[in-house]
Structure 1
């Protein structure tokens, strides 16, 4: 994936770009999906998307304006894509095949009784799921790319995970803040000291 950089000038534009990326399954490096208004307030005006969302204060060499980004989204979003886990996708497809009409009669009640898997969906995904099951062909569900992290056992016998601090590899005990990336990227950082672990 090539990096996308969007120049925004207002907080509303900042939130709109983040909404698009959050909906596509992207997060900040810390794996959260917050608007981080304080970053915008501190004069950050360029949102970056590569493996995760980041930002910059000064203009990079290449970027697009907010209006151009939103025009691209309208063109690209004729089909709304929701990224889910493999388990969720199997659940969705089984509902589509085995219970094609039950959801129309009982609504969310049927889904809530289906092994409580509905709890794994966000509110937006729940609405999209019902529309998809109802035959809306502008919605699709895909499995999100699996992410991995590196871990090892330190001298004290504790499990530690690799992370980056100002671009320098270091370690942390909390796996939530570990460096996560697709398997190909993780393999670039693996040494004999580190083992690969699936992050999601």
Structure 2
């Protein structure tokens, strides 16, 4: 699978700021957590790879096209000019349908329940963004927030534990915040009769 982005960093501060950007987009380390893992940088980690999850290398081992930290941050500035709002696939479909209507606000405000689901879970800012988007504001983009899952089981002491990875080997941890999370297709690769699947809120 082709890696989407490879960034070369030279300082720990650069390492952390790249990770901040990726964590904000919902990506996690292969092991399933969101720590800075400074020891990896100290031990020579200089290339950060983003695909379905974050990995690292001391060198550009696959000769992937990579960008320098400064170029990566410049790209982030460009991307940040457009406000992004994350919704469900159903909500996105309804928003696109509304956008194509001659009078989208009229359709939204009528008593029909057709568009009721758009408003579910939208905060005040999101609702304002929706109205601006329907009014023609091109600096707003709606994207589907990918649903993530994790695996859990009850251990021998009767406690709920979550699957995680330690140096690439599956293990368990009691804290759900450090559980291995992934899209359904990826998480199902690790599902066994011992583990139960649950959605990450």
Alignment TM-score > 0.5, same fold? yes
Shift of 1:169: 0.7
Local SS of the residue matching 1:162: strand
Structure 2, unpaired ranges of 5+: 107-118
Q: What does residue 107 of structure 1 align with?
A: none
Give aligned pairs, total.
179
User: 1:50 and 1:147 mapped to 2: Cα distance?
Assistant: 15
User: 1:193 and 1:170 mapped to 2: Cα distance?
Assistant: 12
Shift of 1:25: 3.8
Q: What does residue 65 of structure 1 align with?
A: 67
Aligned residues: CA RMSD: 4.6
Q: What does residue 183 of structure 1 align with?
A: 184
Q: What does residue 108 of structure 1 align with?
A: none
What is the CA deviation profile of residues 76-100 of structure 1, one whole-angstrom value per residue up to 9, with x for unaligned ones? 959947352439x57x95xx9559x
2:165 aligned with 1:164, yes or no? yes
Instruction: Output aligned runs, 1:1-200, within 5 Å.
Output: 2-3=2-3, 4-9=5-10, 14=15, 17-18=18-19, 21-22=22-23, 24-28=25-29, 31-32=33-34, 36=36, 38=38, 42=42, 43-63=44-64, 64-66=66-68, 70=72, 73=75, 77=79, 80=82, 82=84, 84-86=86-88, 117-118=122-123, 132=133, 135-200=136-201
Q: TM-score scaled by structure 2?
A: 0.62
Q: TM-score scaled by structure 1?
A: 0.62
Structure 1, unpaired ranges of 5+: 100-113
User: 1:16 and 1:62 mapped to 2: Cα distance?
Assistant: 23
Shift of 1:134: 6.1
